[in-house]
Amino acid sequence: MAKVPGVGGVFFKSPDPKRLYDWYARWLGMEFEDWGTAFYPKTMPANGQTVWSAFDAQTNYSAPAEKSSCSI
């Protein structure tokens, strides 16, 4: 059976991305750039990464999608 080597990114909307980044930095020790952060899991292929990024709730970046998040 084939395995998924990683997730390219997690992107979502937030009413205040900066405040959200500050919360994650304070309580989880995550470090952020203006665009978000990237993870480099040891079990991913060489040079693999997963991007984690919050967009302003009013952005049209994900248009035409209308939902701010999804669940699996």
Residues 50-71 as b/e (b if ≥16 CB within 10 A, e otherwise) read eebbbbeeeeeeeeeeeeeeee
1-48 pLDDT tens trace: 777 777 788 888 889 999 999 999 999 999 999 889 988 877 777 778
Task: Say what the pLDDT of residue 67 is.
Answer: 66
CB neighbourhood size of 11 (10 A): 14
pTM exceeds 0.85: no
Q: How confident is the model at residue 68 (pLDDT cuts 50, 70, 90)?
A: low
- Residues 8 and 1: their CA atoms lie apart, in Å, by 20
